[in-house]
Amino acid sequence: MPNKIILDTDPGIDDALAIILAINSPEIELMGITTTYGNVEIEKAVRNTFRVLNFLDHLDVPVYRGAYKPIIEEPHPIEAIHGSDGLGDVDIPAVDAELAGDAVEFMIEAVRRYPHEITIVSIGPLTNLALAMLMYPEFSNKVGKIISMGGAFGLTPYGYGNDTPVAEFNIYSDPEAARVVYDSGAEVYAVGLDVTNNPKAMISPEERERIRVEGGRIGKLFYEMTRRLAKLSHGVHLHDPIAVSHAIIREILSFKKYRVTVELEGRYTRGQTIVDRREELPEFLRGVPNIYVAYDVDGDAFKRLMWDRVFSR
């Protein structure tokens, strides 16, 4: 049976590709898409979700509006990366579609209705999830598992920050929310920059050109959306689709369970995801491991999945 998935997203170029991957994967039963601020402010996140679904002729997927700001601070969208519209300023028509309701209420109702069956794939800040946990104390016990694209854990040469020197964007956007989720007791799989920035999983300039030529209408959309990204770095990193891939083919990512703390107070380290790797010490000195952290990615398998489910459509 397909996995019951809620996709929590802030579209965002790579979010758009993650939505496409989820919809085109029969292993996933997409229960709904919950939106949040992050790459863009919340109204653009809602608008972009509908734009992508309309492009795919899948406006049947219910969409929910979520948090418009972090628990404590204010949002800081990144137009320099994703463009003024959040999707690389490409010509995807807007659509007048109706929201299905509130994101947090939907998450809570879903885990109540299907205890231990729901996987929430969060590819934006973790605010919606944290609010659901705070509003419904049984949430962490009833959700099946959580896959979070976020964090920089220092387990590989690529595990350093992209918003600050030590903090990844989604976690830095709401460190308090991340702390709530990591310490909740839920089964959390963190897919951080340690793997999403690994060159093995990156789309090279040559691969990007092949996608433009052979990848159909979605390939052309990808090429146009990533014009700005391609100029900023030597290739395109698909952070959010890598997180979604774990809900489709578990073996694409390798995980190990660690004690991870989210730094809230540091002047230079707020939002840092600190991994306790002192395995030689007993747990009472280093803390009980609380989340699974991805440390390796099968780049070839991931790119094959993207080609089969996204760019060959």
Annotated catalytic sites, by residue?
A: 239
SS3 153: coil
In the numeric block, which tokens belong to residue 154? 């220092």
From residue 63, alpha-carbon distances to 147, 158, 176, 289 in Å are: 19, 33, 25, 34
What is the separation, in whole angstroms, between the first and last Cα of the chain? 23
CA distance 99 to 85: 19
* Contact between residue 28 and residue 20 where contact means Cβ atoms under 8 Å apart: no
Rg (CA), the chain: 18
Per the DSSP assignment, residues forming a β-bridge with 26 are none
Burial annotation 76-110 (CB, 10 A radius, 16+ → b, else e): ebbeebbbebbbbebebeeeeeeeeeebbbbbbeb
| Contact in structure between 87 and 11 (CB atoms under 8 Å) | yes
CA-nearest of 98, 119, 117, 109 to 49 is 98
Cis before 12? omega within 30: yes
